[in-house]
């Protein structure tokens, strides 16, 4: 490939985007779609850099550094802060887009597009239908199905997926040659094929330590049937969405490894994996987190 993406995996998707860039066949709006933590937003930011940097996102010039820090004057960014995107924010975005640009493009980066309220999405649709000249929207979503069909009809969708455990081990070993092989295997297991999460775990020791702690806790309570202890564990994580996410990730990876290994309780664990997905959906609908997690614990 022509550009230095510095991305693990997603070669097909990157070639598709490169083809558009090199042929001058850019859509005015891209939607990078796939499960969370596969690296979609990293690709979005790299694409913004290529569009704005004369050296195709060299990573070191002032333009690239501004984009990486989220301070580039003509690159507007709405990163996921776990809050809804409200109509007031969309109106401010529209005002900025109508200002004179100083760069080749005005680029709008929106992470997790489904965070928009219905009112905000309807307002956003108007600017998406008739954007100012040389404006490119690069957005990500974890769930295409919950977006407005009218929005989907006006974007070029690039779908992202997970990679295999073996692929992650190979690539992480290449990228981090001085890292202990067991650490790389653990990170690859915890990442569930999501390259964005894998890089985050490799580069953030605190997050990795939190995953390891959760891994040990999950292994402990799977080996014992004491419901009181399991409910006590839930008390420690229920108030923190980040901790709940880590718990779901680790529980999923552990159960999958047990199923692959032919554990005697494999059939039960397969049903539990479905319950984890169901629990995740319930939490997005603001169902009481404690009740959801306690019900999940009873299924183990």
**Whether 31 contacts 146, CB under 8 Å:** no
Going by the DSSP 8-state scheme, the letter that residue 113 receives in this structure is: G
**Whether 112 contacts 34, CB under 8 Å:** no
Distance from C-alpha of 83 to C-alpha of 80, rounded to nearest angstrom: 7
**Whether 247 contacts 213, CB under 8 Å:** no
In the three-class reduction of DSSP (H, G, I as helix; E, B as strand; rest coil), residue 99 is classed as coil
- Token look-up 């790389």 returns 184
pLDDT in tens, the chain (300 residues): 788 888 899 999 999 999 999 999 999 999 999 999 999 999 999 999 999 887 766 666 777 778 877 888 899 999 998 899 999 999 999 999 999 888 889 999 999 999 999 999 999 999 999 999 999 999 999 999 989 999 999 999 999 999 999 999 999 999 999 999 999 999 999 999 999 999 999 999 999 999 999 999 888 877 776 788 888 888 888 878 888 989 999 999 988 888 887 776 678 888 888 889 888 888 877 788 889 998 888 887
Query: pTM of the predicted model, to two decimals?
Result: 0.85
Q: For the chain, first and last CA: distance in Å?
A: 46
Instruction: State the pairing for strand pair 106-110/156-159.
Output: unpaired
**Whether 220 contacts 230, CB under 8 Å:** no
**Whether 126 contacts 97, CB under 8 Å:** no
């Amino acid at each position: 490939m022509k550009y230095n993406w510095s991305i693990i995996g997603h070669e097909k998707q990157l070639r598709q985007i490169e083809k558009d860039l090199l042929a001058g066949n850019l859509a005015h709006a891209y939607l990078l779609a796939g499960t969370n933590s596969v690296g979609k937003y990293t690709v979005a930011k790299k694409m913004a850099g290529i569009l704005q940097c004369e050296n195709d996102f060299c990573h070191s010039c002032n333009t690239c550094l501004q984009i990486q820090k989220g301070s580039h004057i003509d690159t507007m960014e709405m990163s996921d802060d776990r809050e809804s995107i409200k109509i007031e924010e969309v109106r401010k975005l529209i005002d900025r887009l109508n200002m004179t640009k100083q760069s080749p493009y005005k680029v709008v980066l929106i992470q997790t597009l489904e965070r928009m309220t219905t009112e905000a999405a309807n307002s956003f649709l108007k600017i998406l239908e008739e954007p100012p000249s040389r404006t490119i929207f690069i957005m990500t979503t974890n769930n295409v199905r919950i977006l407005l069909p009218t929005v989907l009809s006006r974007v070029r969708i690039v779908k992202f997926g997970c990679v295999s455990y073996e692929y992650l081990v190979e690539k992480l070993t290449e990228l981090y040659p001085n890292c202990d092989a067991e650490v790389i295997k653990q990170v690859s297991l915890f990442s569930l094929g999501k390259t964005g999460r894998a890089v985050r775990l490799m580069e953030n020791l605190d997050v990795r330590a939190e995953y390891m702690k959760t891994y040990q806790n999950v292994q402990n309570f799977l080996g014992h049937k004491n419901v009181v202890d399991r409910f006590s564990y839930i008390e420690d994580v229920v108030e923190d969405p980040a901790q709940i996410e880590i718990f779901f990730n680790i529980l999923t990876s552990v159960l999958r490894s047990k199923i692959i290994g032919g554990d005697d309780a494999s059939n039960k664990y397969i049903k539990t994996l479905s319950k984890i997905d169901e629990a995740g959906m319930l939490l997005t609908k603001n169902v009481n987190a404690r009740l959801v997690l306690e019900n999940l614990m009873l299924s183990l």
